[in-house]
C-alpha cells in the first residue's frame, strides 16, 4: 500500500487537528472526551482516570461502560484466553463502575494481577479509535468507554467535555508526518564527525521534535548513507547494556564520517513507539521472563509501533529521496518504500553482543527478522 502523502489534502492546522492534540492532553490528565462517530463514545484511559472521570462517564453513558483492550493484553487477564486477532476486545464493567485499583491492574501487567472474572462483551464500533487515542498519549492502551447519551453536551456533566471525530484520530499519525517542518539547523561538531550539523523538525499541533544528524553534505550524493534511529534514553544517554542502541548510534555516525557524508534520522519514538515509561514497564516484564516482543504485546502495544512516515517526510525535506539504508531490519526498508523512498541498497549494521544484551539481539534476529550480516 502506497502511504505517500499530499500535504494539500490534509487540512493541516485546522481546528479539527488541534482537537486531536487537545484530546491527547485530556487523556494524560484523565479527563473523558467524546469520540464523534456513527455511535459516539465517551472515553478515558484506565491508567489516568480518577473518581471524577468515572462519575462523569456514569452520568453521561447511555449503556453500561466497558473496558477495551488490545487482544494481546486481554489474553492475559481473561480466564480462558482469546484467539489471537487484531480485534478490539471489550470487557464488561460493574455498575456502579469498577474501582480504580482494579482498572489500573487490568491495564498494567506490571501490577499485582488479582482481578475479577471479567466477562467479554461486544466491542464498540469506535473502539479502535479509542485505543489509538490512548496510544497517541503514550499511555497503556486500555480505555474505559461507554455509548454517550443523546444531548450529552447540554447536560451539566458534559458542558466542558471535548468532542473529537474518531476518524481524525485514526488519520492523525499521517497528518503529523505530512506537517513536519524544519525549524532549526546548526553546526554541532561531534567527536567522530567534526563537520556534523543538526536539523530539527516539528509537526503541526504537537511539540515532539525529531532530529537529523547530517555528516558532510549527504544531499549532494546520488544515494547517501542513511540510518533511521529511534531515540533510546537508556541506551543512547545512559549507556545501558540491555540494548545495542548506543553503539548503533555512535557506530553509524563514525561510519558516515569515514565515508565523508551521511544522515542519521533521530526519531522521537522511544521503545519502538511506546514511549519511555512503557518501555520501562516492558523491561520489568522482561525481567520476569518475557522477551522484548512479548513484553510490548503484554502491555497492549504492537511489537513495533513506530511511524516511519515521519522518516520519509524528513528525507524528502532534506532532498534525499534515494538512499542506502544502514540497517539489519528489513521492515524499515519496506516501510520507507511504501512511503515513496527509493532504497537502493541495504548496508549491514552489526553490533557485537556485550554479555548482557545477547538474548535481546537473539530475539531481534529470531522474532523480528533482523539480519545478522
Please list the active-site residues.
304, 306
Conformational region of residue 262, where left means phi above 0, alpha means psi within -120 to 50, and beta covers everything else: left
Q: What are 38's three cell numbers?
A: 456513527
d(CA 30, CA 191): 44
**DSSP conformational letter for 97:** P
3-state secondary structure at position 202: strand
User: Checking DSSP bridges between strand 163-165 and strand 33-36, what pairing results, if any?
Assistant: parallel
Nearest Cα residue to 56 out of 143, 169, 160, 131: 160
Number of residues written out for the chain: 373
Exposed / middle / buried, residue 325 (Cβ in 10 Å: 0-12, 13-18, 19+): buried
Alpha helices in 7-153 (DSSP H): 15-29, 51-60, 71-77, 100-107, 127-136
- Cα 216–Cα 220–Cα 221 angle in degrees, nearest 5: 90
Alpha helices in the chain (DSSP H): 15-29, 51-60, 71-77, 100-107, 127-136, 166-178, 245-259, 270-273, 276-287, 292-298, 309-317, 330-338, 358-366
- Give yes or no for a contact between 70 and 88, defined as CB atoms under 8 angstroms apart: yes
Q: H or E segment at 325?
A: strand 322-326
Amino acid at each position: 500500500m502506497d502511504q505517500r502523502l499530499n500535504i494539500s489534502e490534509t487540512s493541516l492546522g485546522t481546528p479539527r487537528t488541534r482537537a486531536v492534540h487537545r484530546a491527547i492532553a485530556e487523556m494524560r490528565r484523565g479527563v473523558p472526551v467524546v469520540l464523534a462517530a456513527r455511535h459516539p463514545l465517551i472515553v478515558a484511559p484506565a491508567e489516568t482516570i480518577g473518581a471524577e472521570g468515572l462519575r462523569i462517564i456514569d452520568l453521561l453513558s447511555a449503556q453500561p461502560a466497558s473496558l477495551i483492550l488490545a487482544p494481546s493484553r486481554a489474553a492475559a487477564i481473561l480466564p480462558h484466553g482469546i484467539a489471537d486477532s487484531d480485534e478490539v476486545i471489550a470487557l464488561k464493567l460493574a455498575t456502579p463502575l469498577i474501582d480504580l485499583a482494579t482498572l489500573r491492574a487490568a491495564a498494567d501487567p506490571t501490577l499485582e494481577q488479582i482481578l475479577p472474572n471479567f466477562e467479554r462483551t461486544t466491542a464498540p464500533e469506535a473502539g479502535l479509535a479509542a485505543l489509538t487515542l490512548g496510544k497517541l498519549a503514550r499511555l497503556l492502551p486500555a480505555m474505559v468507554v461507554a455509548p454517550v447519551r443523546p444531548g450529552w453536551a447540554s447536560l451539566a456533566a458534559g458542558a466542558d467535555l471535548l468532542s473529537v471525530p474518531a476518524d481524525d484520530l485514526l488519520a492523525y499519525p499521517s497528518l503529523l508526518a505530512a506537517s513536519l517542518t524544519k525549524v532549526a539547523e546548526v553546526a554541532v561538531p561531534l567527536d567522530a564527525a567534526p563537520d556534523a550539523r543538526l536539523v530539527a523538525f516539528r509537526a503541526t499541533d504537537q511539540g515532539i521534535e525529531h532530529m537529523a544528524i547530517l555528516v558532510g553534505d549527504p544531499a549532494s550524493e546520488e544515494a547517501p548513507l542513511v540510518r533511521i534511529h529511534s531515540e533510546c534514553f537508556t541506551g543512547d544517554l545512559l549507556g545501558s547494556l540491555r540494548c545495542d542502541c548506543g553503539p548503533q548510534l555512535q557506530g553509524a555516525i563514525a561510519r558516515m564520517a569515514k565515508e565523508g557524508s551521511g544522515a542519521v534520522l533521530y526519531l522521537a519514538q522511544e521503545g519502538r513507539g511506546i514511549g519511555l515509561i512503557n518501555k520501562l514497564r516492558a523491561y520489568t516484564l522482561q525481567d520476569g521472563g518475557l522477551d522484548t516482543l512479548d513484553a510490548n504485546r503484554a502491555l497492549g502495544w504492537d511489537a513495533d509501533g513506530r511511524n516511519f512516515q515521519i522518516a520519509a517526510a524528513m528525507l524528502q525535506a532534506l532532498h534525499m529521496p534515494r538512499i542506502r539504508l544502514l540497517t539489519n531490519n528489513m521492515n524499515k526498508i519496506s516501510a520507507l518504500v511504501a512511503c515513496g523512498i527509493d532504497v537502493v541498497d541495504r548496508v549491514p549494521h552489526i553490533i557485537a553482543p556485550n554479555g548482557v544484551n545477547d538474548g535481546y539481539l537473539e530475539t531481534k534476529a529470531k522474532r523480528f527478522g533482523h539480519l545478522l550480516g
